[in-house]
Structure 1
């Protein structure tokens, strides 16, 4: 493979990566926990942009339990974003490096 072809291929991969990253950052992923009592929304960048807690999820006697459910919802949304990122990012192995 000559250097020009390799450089061109690297530039194409870089452009694909940049576009995939841009698309991923704009996509929102929803996660839930506690049977839907808590819903979290994260962007593909990992930023938490929304959190909905239904009133019936709030027990003043068990705030630690509520924190656990919120954390589980955020983790669920983040896991979906990570999984999606792995499927949409170009395969760098195609470069043969």
Structure 2
């Protein structure tokens, strides 16, 4: 492989990585806790984008349960976002490395 080919492949890889970053930002996952009374949405960059809490769950005398459900929902959403992000990166980077390896399987982000 000559230098021009290698530079071209590197440029293509950089372009695909930028596209992947944008796609991860647009990717959305949703998690529920408390039988759906707490709904947490996150993007593929593992950023929480919204939290919805059913008004029937709000009890000023029992904030600990609400706090626990919010934490559970956030953790589940972040896990789903991580998995979805890894899957997306594997799709995008497939075949970019020698031997058919891809960056997603290496745990690189």
Normalised by the length of structure 2, the TM-score is: 0.75
RMSD: 1.8
Give the corresponding residue for 1:41.
41
Stretch deviating more after TM superposition (24-33 or 83-92): 83-92
Q: What is the rounded CA distance, in whole Å, between the counterparts of 2:97 and 2:53 in structure 1?
A: 46
Q: What is the rounded CA distance, in whole Å, between the counterparts of 1:93 and 1:61 in structure 2?
A: 56
Q: What is the rounded CA distance, in whole Å, between the counterparts of 1:45 and 1:88 in structure 2?
A: 11
Normalised by the length of structure 1, the TM-score is: 0.83
Q: What is the rounded CA distance, in whole Å, between the counterparts of 1:31 and 1:43 in structure 2?
A: 11
Deviation at 1:40, TM superposition (A): 0.8
1:1-97 to 2 correspondence within 5 Å?
1-89=1-89, 90-91=92-93, 94-96=96-98
Deviation at 1:87, TM superposition (A): 1.0
Q: How many residues align?
A: 96
Ranked by relative contact order (alpha carbons within 8 Å, sequence separation 6 or more), the top structure is 1
For structure 1, list consecutive stretches of 5 or more residues without a partner in the other structure. none
Residue 96 of structure 2: SS of its match in structure 1? helix
